[in-house]
Amino acid sequence: MDIDATLIKKEVTIVNTSTIFLVALFALLIASAEAVLAFVGVVPGVLLDAVLLFALLNLFLFRKGSFGEIYLVLALLPLLRIFSLVVPVIQVPPIYWYAMAGTPFLLALGLAARFVKPRWAGLQLDRRAWAIQGLIAVSGLPLAVAAYFILHPTPLFARLNWQEILIGSLILILFSGFTEELVFRSMLQPVMQQAFGLRYGLLLSSALYASMFLGSLTPGFILLMGLVGLLFGYSVERSGSIWGAVIAHSILSIGLILILPVLWY
């Protein structure tokens, strides 16, 4: 994602006050929906997400000339949460829930990409940024260990074999590492930076990312994921590519969800 700071600063000036207010309001409401899910219950949380999804899609349809794409990108967050909550079924091993929720969400991302095509530049890899990408990629290892010792998740399997590791890793790479970085760093972060500027856009998009982990009910883990969002977001901004963050995110997910709980539980 090659972010031109000069271009962003120019674009910020054409975003009117009402749009900035609405974007900030809906960002707060999305985080509030996560809090409702965590502290009140699933049903009211999903209902609030459904209302937000409906409102944001309508804003996108009727305010296209007023920086409307940001509403479409924001609508992806309640949609992601709805999919993650309605898909899980007890007859299917939990690792496959990621694929079951992620597949329709990726289809939704493909449709959204028709309207935010300039944001897909982050899928390119500039060879000059390989050093930064490599450093970010390996950060997934210590982040996975730190996240595990903060959260102590329950193992998904009693023990692992190579088939479970391979299948589970592929699922987490595609539907956790790649999909989430695509949403938060390649789509949400740029539009937030256009509306609020480079610094505040990065902070706001990282805060929204952290809010998606309120359901863990673990303050240390939520803070860690907020810092992860800042780290990955900054690396994408500096390097112009999401791939280092995708690899680090994938390693973090595989370690936290798949491997470390079996080894150290």
Confidence of residue 171 (pLDDT cuts 50, 70, 90): very high
Place of tokens 């595609």: 174
Pick from 211, 182, 193, 181: nearest CA to 27: 211
pLDDT tens, residue by residue, 243-260: 999 999 999 999 999 999
What would the pLDDT profile of 60-73 be if each residue is shown by its tens digit?
A: 988 765 578 899 99
Quick one: which of 262, 239, 141, 114 has its CA closest to 185? 239
Q: What is the pLDDT of residues 135-170, one digit of tens each?
A: 999 999 999 999 999 999 998 887 888 888 999 999
Query: Cα separation of 50 and 86, whole Å?
Result: 12
Our CA angle for 52, 41, 183, nearest 5°, is 40
CA–CA gap between residue 150 and residue 58 (Å, rounded): 40
Q: Band of the pLDDT at 39, cuts 50, 70, 90?
A: very high
Does residue 75 or residue 13 have the better pLDDT? Answer: 75
| Spatial contact of 231 and 209, defined as CB atoms under 8 Å apart | no
Dihedral sign for Cα atoms in the order 201, 141, 216, 227: negative
Q: Does the pLDDT at position 27 exceed 60?
A: yes
Res 12: pLDDT: 44
| Span between the terminal Cα atoms of the chain, in Å | 38
The total of structural domains in the chain comes to 1
Which of residues 223 and 265 earns the better pLDDT score?
Answer: 223
Pair of tokens at residue 131: 């050093």
Q: In which domain, by residue range, is 241 found? A: 5-264
pLDDT: is 8 or 15 the higher one?
A: 15
Counting every residue written for the chain, the total comes to 265
Q: How far is CA 168 from the centre of its chain?
A: 19
CB atoms within 10 A of CB 134: 12
pLDDT at 8: 44
Average model confidence (pLDDT) across the chain: 87
Tell me the two tokens of residue 141. Answer: 């290892």
